Amino acid sequence: VTSQTCSRCLLGLLYQEYRDKSTREEIETRRLQDSQTDPEESSPSEETPSEAEPSSITESKAPPQISLLRNSNSRFNLWQDLPEIRSSGILSILQPDEIKLQEAMFELVTSEASYYKSLNLLVSHFMENERLKKILHQSEAHILFSNVLDVMAVSERFLLDLEQRVEENIVISDVCDIVYQHTVNHFSVYITYVSNQTYQERAYKQLLQDKPAFREVISQLELDPKCKGLSFSSFLILPFQRITRLKLLVQNILKKVEEKSDRETTALDAHKELETVVKACNEGVRKMSRTEQMISIQKKLEFKIKSVPIISHSRWLLKQGELQQMNGPKTSRTLRTKKLFREIYLFLFNDLLVICRQIPGDKYQVFDSAPRGLLRVEELEDQGQSLANVFILRLLENADDREASYMLKASSQSEMKRWMISLAPNRRTKFVSFTSRLVDCPQIQCVHPYVAQQPDELSLELADVLNILDKTDDGWIFGERLHDQERGWFPSSMGEEILNPKIRAQNLKECFRVHKSDDSQRRKLGSRNRQ
C-alpha cells in the first residue's frame, strides 16, 4: 500500500461526514448484535464487541475516501477491500483477528487524513478569506481561530508519519507507537485550542450579532459546495472532537491486539498519554467557565451568618436550585396546607454547601452552610402524596458547629434523586458502577446526542455506551460512560437499553482491558498510601 492510497483519502469525505456515518453504522451494528441471542452468531461484518467506540469493523468502514473516489454510491470501504490488498493474496494467510486489527489501525490513519482535509478547509476557505480578513479585527480573528495553524501543522506531521508506516509493508506493523510519540511531543497544541473554546463560542455569537457583514460572509462561505452543507461552527470544534475520537480509536486497537504483546504495551502507552491530553482539554474548558461562574455567584450572596469566601481555584459549582423546606418538627405528618413548606435555595459546590433564601434584587441571603463531606441524605418512602419527593438532609457540622437537619421537598422524583446523589455522592445508587466489578449491570447506548444543561448532567455523543447507575420514573438516567468513567444525568429518551447480557459482559470485559493500566496504577498508589 503506497502513500497514494492514504493521500486519496483527502479527496473524499470531510471529517464531520466520516464521524457521523461511522457512529451511525456503529449504532446499527450494536442494535443487530443486541437482537441476537449469541453475539458469536453475528455475521463477520458485525461481530465486533461493543463499547464506546467498539467495532473496528463498523468504524473501519470509515476510510470512505478510497471507495467514494471510485464509486460515489459505494459504502465505506475496508482495508481488506483495497485492490492492493486483494491482489496480494495476504487475506488467505492472515488470521481473522489480525485482519480486524489491520482494519482498526487502517481506520486511524484514514480518519486522520479526513480530519486534515477538514482542517485545511477551515484555514483556506474561512480563515484566509480576504473579505473575512477585512471585516475581522486582528484580536477577533485570534480568538475565533486560536492556534488552528499549529493544530493543522501537527496533524500534517502526524499523518505523514502514519502514511510512511503504511507504505513500509502491506501489513501494518503498528500505529500506536507513532500515536504515543506525537501525543507526548506535539499534541499540547490541542490543549491550547480547546481551552480557548469558551471565548471562541462567545466571540462567534457576538460577531454574528454585532457585525452583519461578518454574518453575510460566513453564510456565503457555508453555501460553497466544498463545505457540503456543514456549518462554520462544525469546523471550529473539529480539534476537540478529533482528540477525543483518537483516544477511542486507540481503545479500539487495544481491544484487538494480542494480550501481553509489544503491540498491547504501545497501545496502552498511547492511550494513557491521549487520556492525559483529553483530561487537560476538558479541564481547560471547565476552568475558563468556572472562574466566571464563581465570580457571578459571589456577587449574589449576602451572609446572615459568618461570611465564607466563595471564590477558590479548587472550587466549582455542582448544582444549584430551589427546594421546599418543611417547617416545624419532622415528626408531623398532617400536611394539609402548603404553608408548612418554605422556599429555600441551595448552591452546592464540590467541597461546600450554602443554604440561602432568595431576596429582592436577584440576591440570596445565606443562613447556613457545611462542608460537602459532612452531608448525609435519607429518602422518605411511602409517605403519601404530601410527602412525595421529600428527603432529609443532615449537616453533621453546620455554620454554628452543630448538627442540623432539613426536610426538603423537590419538584419531581428525578429532581429529588439528582439532589440526593449530588449532595452525598458516595451513597449507594440503585445499580452499582462497573468499577465494583459487577458481573452484570444495565447498559444503554446513545442514539441521540445530548448537550448537558446543568452541571450534574452528562453530555452524550452518538454511540456512547454507559452503565445505568440509577433511573427515575419520570424519564431520567444517572449513568457512567464506559470509555472515560464520566458520570451524570441525561434523559432516557437519548438512548436505547442494551438487553443482551452477553453484549453487556463483552462491553465490561473490553473496558477492564482498556483501563487495566489505570487500575494497576491505582493499586500501586493504594498500597503506597496504606504503607
Q: State pLDDT tens for residues 219-260.
A: 999 999 999 999 999 999 999 999 999 999 999 999 999 999
C-alpha cell at 360: 429582592
Is pLDDT above 60 for 59?
A: no
- The amino acid that residue 334 corresponds to is T
Q: Answer with the residue of higher pLDDT: 233 or 9.
A: 233
Q: Answer with the residue of higher pLDDT: 346 or 72.
A: 346
* C-beta neighbour count of 164 within 10 angstroms: 12
C-alpha cell at 63: 476510510
Confidence of residue 429 (pLDDT cuts 50, 70, 90): low
CA atoms within 13 A on the CB side of 300: 18
- Name the pTM for this structure: 0.78
Short-list 373, 370, 366, CA closest to 399 = 370
C-alpha cell at 47: 461481530
Is pLDDT above 70 for 68?
A: no
Greatest mean pLDDT among 21-30, 181-190, 467-476, 512-521: 181-190
Q: Do the bridges between strand 363-371 and strand 375-379 make them parallel or antiparallel, or are there none, so unpaired?
A: unpaired
Q: State pLDDT tens for residues 367-397.
A: 999 999 999 999 887 666 667 899 999 999 9
Q: What residue has cell string 462567545?
A: 202
Q: Do the bridges between strand 363-371 and strand 301-303 make them parallel or antiparallel, or are there none, so unpaired?
A: parallel
Between the two ends of the chain, the Cα-to-Cα distance in Å is 54
Is pLDDT above 60 for 8?
A: no
Is pLDDT above 70 for 105?
A: yes
With pLDDT > 90 as the criterion, what percentage of the chain qualifies? 65
3-state class (DSSP) for residue 30: helix
Confidence of residue 514 (pLDDT cuts 50, 70, 90): confident
Q: State pLDDT tens for residues 290-315.
A: 888 999 999 999 999 989 889 988 89
| Cβ proximity of 75 and 118 under 8 Å | no
Confidence of residue 18 (pLDDT cuts 50, 70, 90): confident
- Average pLDDT on 352-364 reads 95
Q: State pLDDT tens for residues 148-203.
A: 999 999 999 999 999 999 989 989 999 999 999 999 999 999 999 999 998 999 99
DSSP string, 266-309: HHHHHHHHHHHHHHHHHHHHHHHHHHHHHHHHHHHEEESSS---
How far apart are alpha carbons 75 and 53 in whole angstroms? 19
Dihedral, CA of residue 456, residue 462, residue 464 and residue 466, to nearest 10: 50
- Average pLDDT on 130-147 reads 96
All domains of the chain in start order, with CATH? 76-295 (1.20.900.10), 304-330+337-423 (2.30.29.30), 434-524 (2.30.30.40)
How far apart are alpha carbons 464 and 511 in whole angstroms? 13
Is pLDDT above 50 for 218?
A: yes
